[in-house]
Structures are given as structure tokens and as C-alpha cells.
């Protein structure tokens, strides 16, 4: 094995729709490289990269996993990602650390939602990529149909590199660049087949598409293509190599990863034609809040970017990529976020859950450090001149559930467990809502939250129960009304006496606007603060459904007092009596939080989305083409928060997972009377149960 330098290092992210074979490809690559003696199966729960208990139980990936192999004197870091959009954060972390991507496509299913999303994420990061059409051993697989779908969806850059054909009773694969045919034995070893007339006719069928794509890589080839001159084998092989690195072409390989068909061919392409980290020359850094290019230097000061954190009951593991220089054991690094230092006391490489300690890692390599004191996902650690690498942008979680402990007294354990999971998963958020008196947990989807629930139980022994989150409604009044409140109590010695006359009306300020227009000292100034305090306490509970009251103006215009029995508490209670008497007469109304909604959906689905919004009391404000997503439209609307609780699930079902949305609170608005009656009735029922 050659010494590993940046030149012979490849970081490859495996992407694609759930079930397309990413984890099986990682397993096949490990086997072909001699890293494992036998191939595990996802269904048996014994693969290298699906080692989390959740993955073993569910038979699909829920987290990013890393593994490395050595092939053709090249170290290949494999980043296996989940295919389901519920775990998009893991996918984005893998893409951030990779220098190229393999997008898996099911030979039967063709282009699916996960294929489209993988392309979109890779495009955003600007990574070179190839497709691998899997399951070509299946009788229902249709390479021609899949290739046509890929070209229609992703454009002329997509070109066939390998073509499967049934020939003389065997599945044969033709390499268009080499113009050679191969079959594979039971161990995935490639055997050359002679090119006969039938196979040459297959080459003729696809070579036009191939040549058209590789002609984009140089002016010389473009001229040859237009002049219909022959492109030699060496020119084709080199063009494929250059085209992958530059991203000007996206070759389509094929095979069956469970039978090892085409796996070594793909591994050879990765080792020989995928870009090293320095191919792009610059990384993006943040300086004074702006994105700027930063030259990648393989020598000099070391810097690393933390792309993922993993937590378990034993502590936290920090996955990183060396962005410049060489990271050596015991190097002291500065965290650009905290200003604190971290010591690289132990450096490991990963092969699934297996950890191998190393003394150093070169620029571009991927590794893990454990037990760092205060380093999280998206942090930059550096030696020498300060640097901050562009962080991964994660989607905001909108699927929210109330969280409570299954067993009394476990509340602290819940917070501890969730805090560790928050370190690991940036697409989770946790809130202790003082207004609704609930702990809430938000994730990407119901499945995502179900996995979190299982992790809390299995890792930290904490059982939680999910419930519906409460909406933070408010109350206010629309009319002006004048009332009085009198508190009088006589018992033994000194009594209590407070008497106020007040006008309540709708105020311009969000909270309480308290004024006094008392004439002649009927209420001494010393009791004004007590009146105000009584009102502020009373406003915590409205008269309709017990929600806090906002925008209340209260003017104290008269009252009376007793020279002996009047005190602060008496006027405080008198103010509360006036509040209870006045607000029911002042046309009280319920207010609900309303948010601004931006929905990105395929143009063909805009009508369905708008129809659904109408059912949710939404108001469509406008539509614009989505500049970031070709063929998509952004629908801008406003909608009540109460109608958005299940929108994550509904939008995904309506758009087959293609739709994305953002929802941000804007203001409070009056609840329609029919809806208000339901909310008031539910609140009273809850009070009765309590």
C-alpha cells in the first residue's frame, strides 16, 4: 500500500432513493477491496455501515456512516447516507465532506424522488457525480428506460458509460469508452468477452450519446464530433476521466451490487477518475459574514472542519475532514466559534463502528476524534491563522410534538438524553415553552421523531410519550367599557378596602397600557402601582379560554379609599375584580398566531397545494418561479399555525416528497367565531378534567 497523500485520496458520498442499494454498494466495495471476508445484508442487519441498533431493526439507514478502503494504491473514504428524506441532515453532512458522489438508481424504479433530491443537493454543493443503475440482474430492470429518464430529468451531461445486454444467455456489460465487453463471475471478477457483431451493434446504438457528452470536455473532441471523425479509445477514456473531474459529464455505470457486477469497474473509475480534494482549488470560508474563496493548501498550518457529531451513552465522537495541512496526534487546535482549544489526543479512522487509531491524517482525509470538550457540528478547528469554513445549511424542523416522560420523575433524564441527540442531529430542535407549559421536540418528520424516541429508550433508558403541542393563543378586547371593582373585607382588627373605577379598551401596545386620570385624589398615587400589578397578574388569564390577554389599555379614572383599611393588596384585588367584570362586556376575542408560508413545489402540483391551503384557512399572496429549483414554483401564503401542525406529512404525501416549505410567525390575528367556539369549548373541557 502506497503512502496516503492528498493525490491518492478520494472522498465519495453514496446517495439515492431509499432501497436503491447504497449500503449494499458500500458492503460490496469493502468486500472487493478485501476489507471484509463476507458480504453482509441489510435485511440481516449485519452490514458494516448500518450498525446502529435502529438501522438493524428497521433494515434501512438512518445515519451517515464512514468506511475506508484501499484500491489501486488509492484510499477511498466511503460516506454511506440514508435515502429517505426523513434523515436529510445526514445526507447533507455526507455531501459536505465528500469531493464527489455516486447516485444509486434502482434499475426497476428508475428516477425516484430520492434521485431528484440527491441531484439537487449535490448540485448545490457543486460536486462531480456519476450514476450507478443497480439491480440489473432483475428481470424487470430496464436500463434503456432508466437512461432515458435520467437524460430527460438531468440533461445532456448524462451519458451511458456502461451498457448491460443479454448475450449468449449471460448478462454482459459493454464499456463504451474502452469498446470492450465483460461478464462477471460469482466473485465479481471481470472477464473479457469478444466483441461480436451483436455487441458492436449495441455500441453503435449508444455511442452517439456517449460521444456527444464527452465532446463537451475539449474543443478538439467537439470538432471531431461535428466532423463525424472517429474518437479513439485513448481519447474517450481520457475524456471520461476529465469530464468526471470537471463535472461536465455525468456517466451512467450499471451492474448489481449484491452480485458484485460492475462494482470493481465503478471502484476503478473512483480511484482513477474521481477528483482529489485539491481539484476544486478553493474552499469557501466566512469572513466578516461574507462567503469568500480560500485556497486549499496541502502543506502549512492545519485546519479541520467538523461535519458530523455522534453521541452514545459513552460520550461524543467528532467526525471531521482535514481542510489544510496535516493533522498530527497531540496537535492543539483552536475552535473558531468558542476561541477555546482542543487537543487531538487520539485520531481515528472509521470502518463503520470499528475505530483504528492513527498518528496523522493528510489534507483531504476524514477521521474522528473523541471526547472533545466543546466542539460541535459545523465548527472549524485550526492552527495558526484563524479560519472559518462555510457551515452546512440544515433544513428547519417543522414536525413538532409535545414530549413528556412515561414515568414520573424522568423529566431530567429526558433533557439530558435529548441534549446529546441535539449534538448529533442539527435537524432536531427542543423547546421548553413557558407560554404553553410544554416541552416540545421538532424534527423533519414523524418517522424522524419515532427514531429519536427509540434512541432515547435504547441509549439512555428514557421512555417518552408524544402528544399534540398546544397553540399559544391570546385574547384581547375590541370594545371600550367602564366598570368598577370594589374589594371590602372586615375581620376583627383592621380591614381591607380598595375601590377602583376603570375604563378598559383595546391598546396599541402589545402588553398593558396603564394610565390614570384620577381627579381630586380619590385614589392616592401610592396605590397606582398596586392597581397596575393586579391588572398584569389578571392578564395572564383571559375570560374566554384562559389564554393571556394582549393589547389592553386600562385607565384608572376614579375610586375611593379608606384612610385605615386601604392598602396595596386591597387595590390589587380591586383591580382584578374590575378586570373580571369589564372584559366580558368589552367584546373579548381569541387571537391565533399566523405565519408566513413559502412552499416550493413542482409546477404541475401548484393547483393541489393552493386547494389544500384554502382548506387550511390560508391566504395565497403570490407565486414566483423557484430560482434554486428548476421546474419548481414558490407559493407564498399566510396561514394560521393551528392549521400547519400536520403540514409536513400532508405536503410530502401531496408532492411525493418533492415539496419543501418554510413557515415563520408574523403576527396574531382574530380567530373566526366558529373556530373560536371550538377552542373555547376544548379549553373549558380541559379545565374540567383538571
Provide the CATH number for the domain around residue 299. 2.40.30.10
Higher pLDDT, 406 or 577: 577
Output the furthest CA–CA distance in the chain (Å, rounded).
117
Helical segments of 392-521, H only: 411-424, 446-460
Which grid coordinates are listed for 20? 436503491
Bridge partners for 382 per DSSP: 303, 334
Structural domain total, the chain: 5
> What pLDDT, on the 0 to 100 scale, is given for residue 34?
94
Mean pLDDT confidence for 312-337:
92
Closest CA to 513 of 505, 525, 523, 501: 505
- Of 238, 254, 278, which residue sits at a domain end? 278
CATH number of 649's domain: 3.30.70.240
* Domain co-membership, 373 together with 265: no
Distance CA 88, CA 577 (A): 54
Distance CA 112, CA 352 (A): 27
Does some domain include residue 690?
Answer: no
Closest CA to 117 of 450, 646, 598, 600: 600
pLDDT at 410 over 90: no
* Domain co-membership, 226 together with 163: yes
Query: b/e per residue, 95-109, with b = 16+ CB within 10 A?
Result: bbbbbbbbbbbbbeb
Helical segments of 480-523, H only: none
* Domain co-membership, 515 together with 564: yes
pLDDT at 253 over 60: yes
Distance CA 332, CA 343 (A): 4
Enter the pTM of the model.
0.91
Distance CA 364, CA 303 (A): 10
β strands within 374-436, DSSP E: 380-382, 399-405, 429-433
Which residues, at least 6 apart from 544, have a Cβ–Cβ distance to it below 8 Å?
A: 475, 588, 589, 590, 676, 680, 683
- Of 278, 299, 325, which residue sits at a domain end? 278
Does some domain include residue 682?
Answer: no
* Contact (CB, 8 A) for 80 and 23: yes
593-628 per-position pLDDT tens digit: 999 999 999 999 999 999 999 999 999 999 999 998
> What pLDDT, on the 0 to 100 scale, is given for residue 426?
95
> What pLDDT, on the 0 to 100 scale, is given for residue 684?
83
* Domain co-membership, 274 together with 286: no
pLDDT at 369 over 90: yes
Q: How confident is the model at residue 690 (pLDDT cuts 50, 70, 90)?
A: low
Q: How confident is the model at residue 479 (pLDDT cuts 50, 70, 90)?
A: very high
Q: How confident is the model at residue 383 (pLDDT cuts 50, 70, 90)?
A: very high
CATH number of 447's domain: 3.30.70.870
Angle, nearest 10°, between helix axes 263-273 and 22-32? 80
Q: How confident is the model at residue 437 (pLDDT cuts 50, 70, 90)?
A: confident
> What pLDDT, on the 0 to 100 scale, is given for residue 413?
81
Q: How confident is the model at residue 683 (pLDDT cuts 50, 70, 90)?
A: confident
Does some domain include residue 439?
Answer: yes
654-678 per-position pLDDT tens digit: 999 999 999 999 999 999 999 999 9
Mean pLDDT confidence for 460-473:
92
* Domain co-membership, 65 together with 185: yes
Closest CA to 53 of 414, 312, 309: 312
Cβ count near 518 (within 10 Å) = 18
> What pLDDT, on the 0 to 100 scale, is given for residue 216?
86
Q: How confident is the model at residue 185 (pLDDT cuts 50, 70, 90)?
A: confident
Does some domain include residue 621?
Answer: yes
> What pLDDT, on the 0 to 100 scale, is given for residue 87?
96
Mean pLDDT confidence for 4-22:
96
Does some domain include residue 388?
Answer: no
pLDDT at 494 over 80: no
- Of 278, 294, 311, which residue sits at a domain end? 278
**What are the distances in angstroms from CA 503 to CA 23, 487, 526?**
70, 18, 20
> What pLDDT, on the 0 to 100 scale, is given for residue 414?
86
> What pLDDT, on the 0 to 100 scale, is given for residue 193?
87
Higher pLDDT, 284 or 684: 284
* Domain co-membership, 186 together with 274: yes
> What pLDDT, on the 0 to 100 scale, is given for residue 610?
95
Mean pLDDT confidence for 487-506:
88
CATH number of 112's domain: 3.40.50.300
Does some domain include residue 224?
Answer: yes
Distance CA 81, CA 22 (A): 8
* Domain co-membership, 190 together with 326: no
* Domain co-membership, 224 together with 78: yes
Higher pLDDT, 13 or 198: 13
108-156 per-position pLDDT tens digit: 999 999 999 999 999 999 999 999 999 999 999 999 999 999 999 999 8
Q: Residue 123 is part of which domain span?
A: 6-278
Does some domain include residue 394?
Answer: no
* Contact (CB, 8 A) for 358 and 350: no
530-581 per-position pLDDT tens digit: 999 999 999 999 999 999 999 999 999 999 999 888 899 999 999 999 999 9
* Domain co-membership, 114 together with 48: yes
Mean pLDDT confidence for 499-519:
95
Distance CA 190, CA 106 (A): 22
Does some domain include residue 393?
Answer: no
* Domain co-membership, 489 together with 351: no
Q: How confident is the model at residue 296 (pLDDT cuts 50, 70, 90)?
A: very high
How buried is residue 322: exposed, middle or buried, by Cβ count under 10 Å (0-12/13-18/19+)? Answer: buried
Distance CA 521, CA 534 (A): 20
**What are the distances in angstroms from CA 282 to CA 12, 277, 291, 378?**
18, 9, 12, 18
> What pLDDT, on the 0 to 100 scale, is given for residue 313?
65
Backbone φ and ψ of 297, nearest 5°: -120, 125
pLDDT at 492 over 70: no
Mean pLDDT of the chain, nearest integer: 93
* Domain co-membership, 97 together with 203: yes
* Domain co-membership, 13 together with 144: yes
> What pLDDT, on the 0 to 100 scale, is given for residue 187?
76
Which grid coordinates are listed for 21? 442499494
Amino acid at each position: 500500500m502506497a503512502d496516503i497523500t492528498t493525490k491518492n485520496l478520494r472522498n465519495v458520498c453514496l446517495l439515492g432513493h431509499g432501497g436503491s442499494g447504497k449500503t449494499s454498494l458500500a458492503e460490496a466495495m469493502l468486500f472487493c477491496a478485501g476489507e471484509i471476508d463476507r458480504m453482509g445484508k441489510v435485511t440481516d442487519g449485519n452490514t458494516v455501515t448500518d450498525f446502529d441498533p435502529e438501522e438493524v431493526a428497521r433494515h434501512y439507514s438512518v445515519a451517515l456512516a464512514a468506511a475506508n478502503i484501499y484500491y489501486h494504491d488509492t484510499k477511498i473514504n466511503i460516506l454511506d447516507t440514508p435515502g429517505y428524506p426523513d434523515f436529510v441532515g445526514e445526507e447533507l453532512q455526507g455531501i459536505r465532506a465528500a469531493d464527489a458522489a455516486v447516485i444509486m438508481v434502482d434499475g426497476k424504479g428508475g428516477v425516484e424522488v430520492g434521485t431528484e433530491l440527491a441531484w439537487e443537493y449535490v448540485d448545490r454543493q457543486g460536486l462531480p457525480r456519476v450514476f450507478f443503475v443497480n439491480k440489473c440482474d432483475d428481470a424487470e430492470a430496464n436500463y434503456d428506460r432508466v437512461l432515458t429518464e435520467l437524460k430527460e430529468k438531468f440533461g445532456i451531461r448524462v451519458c451511458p458509460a456502461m451498457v448491460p445486454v443479454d448475450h449468449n444467455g449471460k448478462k454482459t456489460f459493454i464499456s463504451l469508452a474502452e469498446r470492450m465487453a465483460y461478464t462477471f463471475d460469482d466473485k465479481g471478477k471481470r472477464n473479457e468477452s469478444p466483441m461480436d457483431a451483436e455487441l458492436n451493434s449495441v455500441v453503435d446504438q449508444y455511442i452517439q450519446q456517449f460521444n456527444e457528452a464527452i465532446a463537451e470536455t475539449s474543443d478538439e473532441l467537439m470538432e471531431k464530433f461535428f466532423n463525424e471523425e472517429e474518437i479513439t479509445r485513448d481519447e474517450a477514456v481520457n475524456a471520461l476521466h476529465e469530464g468526471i473531474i470537471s463535472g461536465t459529464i455525468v456517466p451512467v455505470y450499471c451492474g448489481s451490487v449484491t452480485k458484485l457486477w460492475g462494482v470493481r469497474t465503478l471502484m476503478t473509475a473512483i480511484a482513477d477518475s474521481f477528483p482529489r480534494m485539491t481539484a476544486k482549488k478553493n474552499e469557501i470560508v466566512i469572513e466578516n459574514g461574507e462567503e469568500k474563496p480560500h485556497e486549499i493548501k496541502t502543506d502549512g498550518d492545519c485546519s479541520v472542519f467538523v461535519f458530523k457529531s455522534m453521541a452514545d451513552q459513552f460520550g461524543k465522537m467528532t467526525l471531521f475532514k482535514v481542510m489544510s495541512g496535516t493533522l498530527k496526534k497531540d496537535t492543539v487546535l483552536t475552535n473558531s466559534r468558542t476561541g477555546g482549544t482542543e487537543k487531538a489526543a487520539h485520531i481515528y479512522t472509521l470502518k463503520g463502528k470499528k475505530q483504528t487509531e492513527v498518528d496523522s491524517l493528510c489534507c483531504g482525509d476524514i477521521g474522528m476524534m473523541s471526547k472533545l470538550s466543546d466542539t460541535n457540528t459545523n465548527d472549524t478547528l485550526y492552527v495558526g491563522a484563524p479560519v472559518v469554513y462555510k457551515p452546512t445549511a440544515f433544513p428547519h424542523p417543522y414536525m413538532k410534538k409535545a414530549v413528556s416522560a412515561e414515568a414520573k420523575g424522568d423529566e431530567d433524564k429526558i433533557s439530558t438524553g435529548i441534549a446529546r441527540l441535539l449534538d448529533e442531529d442539527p435537524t432536531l430542535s427542543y423547546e421548553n415553552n413557558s407560554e404553553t407549559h410544554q416541552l416540545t421536540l421538532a424534527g423533519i418528520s414523524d418517522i424522524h421523531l419515532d427514531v429519536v424516541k427509540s434512541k432515547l429508550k435504547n441509549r439512555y433508558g428514557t421512555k417518552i410519550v408524544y402528544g399534540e403541542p398546544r397553540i399559544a393563543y391570546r385574547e384581547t378586547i375590541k370594545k371600550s367599557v367602564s366598570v368598577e371593582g370594589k374589594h371590602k373585607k372586615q375581620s376583627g382588627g383592621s380591614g381591607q378596602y380598595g375601590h377602583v373605577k376603570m375604563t378598559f379598551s383595546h391598546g396599541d401596545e402589545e402588553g398593558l397600557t396603564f394610565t390614570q386620570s384620577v381627579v381630586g385624589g380619590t385614589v392616592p398615587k401610592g396605590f397606582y402601582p398596586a392597581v397596575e400589578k393586579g391588572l398584569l397578574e389578571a392578564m395572564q388569564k383571559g375570560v374566554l379560554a384562559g389564554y393571556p390577554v394582549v393589547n389592553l389599555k386600562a385607565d384608572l379614572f376614579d375610586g375611593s379609599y379608606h384612610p385605615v383599611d386601604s392598602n396595596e393588596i386591597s387595590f390589587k384585588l380591586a383591580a382584578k375584580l374590575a378586570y373580571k367584570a369589564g372584559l366580558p362586556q368589552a367584546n373579548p376575542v381569541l387571537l391565533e398566531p399566523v405565519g408566513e408560508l413559502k412552499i416550493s413545489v413542482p409546477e404541475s402540483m401548484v393547483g393541489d397545494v393552493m386547494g389544500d391551503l384554502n382548506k387550511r384557512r390560508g391566504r395565497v399572496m403570490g407565486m414566483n418561479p423557484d430560482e434554486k429549483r428548476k421546474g419548481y414554483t414558490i407559493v407564498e401564503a399566510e396561514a394560521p399555525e393551528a392549521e400547519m401542525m400536520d403540514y409536513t406529512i400532508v405536503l410530502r404525501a401531496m408532492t411525493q416528497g418533492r415539496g419543501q416549505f418554510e413557515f415563520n410567525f408574523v403576527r396574531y390575528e382574530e380567530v373566526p367565531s366558529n373556530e373560536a367556539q371550538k377552542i373555547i369549548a376544548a379549553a373549558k373541557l380541559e379545565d374540567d378534567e383538571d
